[in-house]
Amino acid sequence: MWTLDAGAGVPLWRPAAPDPAFVLAFSARRGGTSAPPFDTLNLGRSTADAAAAVAENRRRLLGALGLDPARLATAGQVHGAAVVAVRGPGHHHACDALVTRAPGVPLAVSTADCMPLLYTAPGAVAAAHAGWRGTASGMPVAALAALCDAAGVPPARVRVAIGPCIRPCCYEVGPEVAGRFPAAAVRDAEGSLRLDLAVAARLQLLEAGVPEDAIEDTGACTSCEPFWYFSHRRDAGATGRHWGVAALLA
């Protein structure tokens, strides 16, 4: 189970029963310094927000997690299924997921409706960004395979967390998108097709061998809750970005 510590200076989703070997978190939009429409904890440098505000927001978030901003690793996010193994800090352009066995290296993926996924296995972590294109291309299992390879373990020893993302209550798609997903991940709401990214990811992970009870979901919809979350679709692109963060401590 994951919980949102809503009363914290920097509110974050964290595991209710954290494993001391890992730091895992999903950010919300509160607790930062950015002005509207990026208010307040915008972590995305790809936005039109002031660079100084984004840098301070990142510092605050990583500080709240006890992580060193100088060791941060980020993904360029091109809506694909490429995973990069990293040993230290840096920005990796042509990928949507990162995996590491290096302790103290925070992996961060950026979202504002797309689905963030955090993975843990003995001795390794991964973080993935998956919108509908990445999910349809198999990003959930690509990141799983990379983590299993890095840790030398089977999928049965992996845990996965699904963070805040747009949910089927708000995610209307056309038939050309819906047709790329299994029927269980698509709902017909009075003639409107609604995509459930979390269900699509869960189906892929279960088929790949991750135990059902090892997949946890915050259940939060970014589009439904403007107080807590940025949403690219709801805000017509004029919005900030959240992070999913994973780091190995030991």
In the 8-state DSSP scheme, what is residue 172? B
Give the residue from 239, 229, 235 showing the smallest Cα distance to 115. 229
Distances (CA, A) of 20 to 49, 53, 173, 190, 249: 35, 31, 40, 46, 8
For the chain, list the domains and their CATH numbers.
2-166+197-248 (3.60.140.10)
Q: What is d(CA 105, CA 204) in angstroms, rounded to the nearest whole number?
A: 27
The answer to whether residue 190 scores a pLDDT higher than 90 is no
Specify whether the backbone of 96 is left (phi greater than 0), alpha (psi in -120 to 50) or beta. alpha
Residues 135-182: tens digit of each pLDDT: 999 999 999 999 999 999 999 999 999 999 999 999 999 999 999 999
Using an 8 Å Cβ cutoff, are 194 and 172 in contact? yes
Q: Which pLDDT score is estimated for 74? A: 98
Using an 8 Å Cβ cutoff, are 186 and 150 in contact? no
219 bridge partner residues:
none
Handedness of CA 158, 164, 167, 173 (dihedral sign): negative
Written in H, E and C, the secondary structure of 18-34 is: CCCCEEEEEECCCCCCC
The answer to whether residue 191 scores a pLDDT higher than 90 is no
Residues 67-114: tens digit of each pLDDT: 999 999 999 999 999 999 999 999 999 999 999 999 999 999 999 999
Q: Which pLDDT score is estimated for 97? A: 98
Q: What's the count of helices (H) and strands (E) in the chain, helices before strands?
A: 5, 15
Using an 8 Å Cβ cutoff, are 248 and 100 in contact? yes
Using an 8 Å Cβ cutoff, are 160 and 118 in contact? yes
Q: Mean pLDDT, to the nearest integer, of 23-44?
A: 98
Residues 192-250: tens digit of each pLDDT: 999 999 999 999 999 999 999 999 999 999 999 999 999 999 999 999 999 999 999 97
pTM, whole model, 2 decimals?
0.97
Q: What is d(CA 99, CA 118) in angstroms, rounded to the nearest whole number?
A: 10
